[in-house]
Amino acid sequence: MKKALQKFFAFLKNAPLLALVFGCLTAYMPQANAAQITSMRIGQQVGSVRIVLESDKAFDYQAFLLNNPNRLVVDAYNVDIQTTLQADPTNLVSKTRIGVLQGSDKRIVFDLKKPALIKKAFVLAPQSNMKWRFVIDVALCSQADFMANIGTKHAFSNTKKAPTTTAQANKWVPQEVAKPKKPRQKIIVLDPGHGGKDPGAIGAYGKTYEKNITLAMGKELKAILEKKGYTVYLTRSTDIFIPLRQRVKIAQKHKADLFMSIHADSAVNRNAKGLSVYTLSETASDKEAAALAERENKVDIIGGVDFSENSREINDILISLSQTDSRNKSSKFASYIVSEMSKSVKLINDTHRFAGFAVLKAPDIPSALLEMGYLSNRNEESLLKQKSYRAKLATSVSQAIDKYFNDPEIAALY
């Protein structure tokens, strides 16, 4: 009995040390009920960014702005975040930092290159193969508006307590996602080149009109894309002439997410052959941006953005951001076209090329121009007249479009 009491008192004497050791160990163990944030992406839009955090369950959050330096802060409660979690910088966000608030509460800091406001913050419940997603939209603003909205009193936050069990986490659905909306269909505008009084290139051997080949290809590609669930419009569905700038306006009218002009090439050298893709050159883009910035009425320059009440400085920044953003997305789309086409058809050297085509100058729509081949080449003229060959081209384009919209940077925008 005496020995048992001695062991008991020895245990009590060491209990504080044991508690300290246990506390240190548990502090580095993942919280049993903590949400696991596994990925983060930042999608760039016109003068704004969308930040998406993916996790295995919902979590409480508070998002607000701080200055000196300008920062967006997201406090996430009862979460475990991978230390390698990072996102590429954008025109608004320079870098991301992650720290511990207390226990399992974390702080994510996004350093801002320019003043910006939080427009929306919400949680999306799992859909198809997506996990829980915390989404926050941040848009460019003036320094005065930014200063008027700093601090936690302007925070975007959900007020529910973080769930303490897995069962509670599965049952808890934030108000914003009680009735989740179906993802918006992507809108694509296809532009069959030439038409009407403008025949385009004429086949050197079979006298094939480019305008007829591009229209056939446009209709065939439209049918394939619609079966995949895209909303597709043609700038022309008959043999009519449409001015180049009007084709761009048609795409803007439909609020297109992607614009592709369809053409067939021609060259003096009858041996020239192969497919190519064009996007707007940086020089042409810069000149277009400068011209747009000088216009007095800027309401309709970028779809969905009202320029009428902005200062000239903000308008110039928005136009420049839009041009750069669209040009980068266009190049990404072109790279997917080249990748898919290379699997099945002949490509020219330096397949992705840059030029100042008028139909590529929409400042707010990623755009590319596809040259399907050379009508001046006997073999390619013959191939382009064949529906089976055009179907092969259309299938490759549709696969490139799928990969473009599934690209993490692009997918974050929808």
CATH architecture of residue range(s) 35-159+167-174: Sandwich (2.60)
Answer CATH for 187-411 from 2.40.10.500, 3.40.630.40, 3.30.70.1290, 3.30.70.260 = 3.40.630.40
| pTM, entire model | 0.58
HSE-up of 195 (CA within 13 Å, CB side)?
21
**Are 45 and 90 spatial neighbours (Cβ–Cβ below 8 Å)?**
no
Q: State whether the Cα torsion 37-126-50-39 is positive or negative.
A: positive
In the numeric block, which tokens belong to residue 87?
């996102």
pLDDT digits (tens), the chain, 414 positions: 444 434 434 433 444 433 333 343 333 344 558 889 888 888 877 778 899 998 999 899 989 998 888 989 888 888 988 655 665 667 788 888 887 777 788 888 888 988 999 999 998 888 877 889 999 999 999 888 999 998 888 889 885 544 333 233 233 333 223 334 456 789 999 999 999 999 999 998 989 999 999 999 999 999 999 999 999 999 999 999 999 889 999 998 999 999 999 999 998 899 999 999 999 877 654 454 444 344 333 444 455 444 555 556 655 555 666 677 788 899 999 999 999 999 989 898 889 998 888 778 777 899 999 999 999 999 999 999 999 999 999 999 999 999 999 988 787 676
In sequence order, the 6+-apart residues with CB closer than 8 A to the CB of 229 are 185
Domain ranges (residues) in the chain: 35-159+167-174, 187-411
Rounded CA-CA distance 126/133 in Å is: 7
Q: Which residues, in sequence order, are bridge partners of residue 102?
A: 105
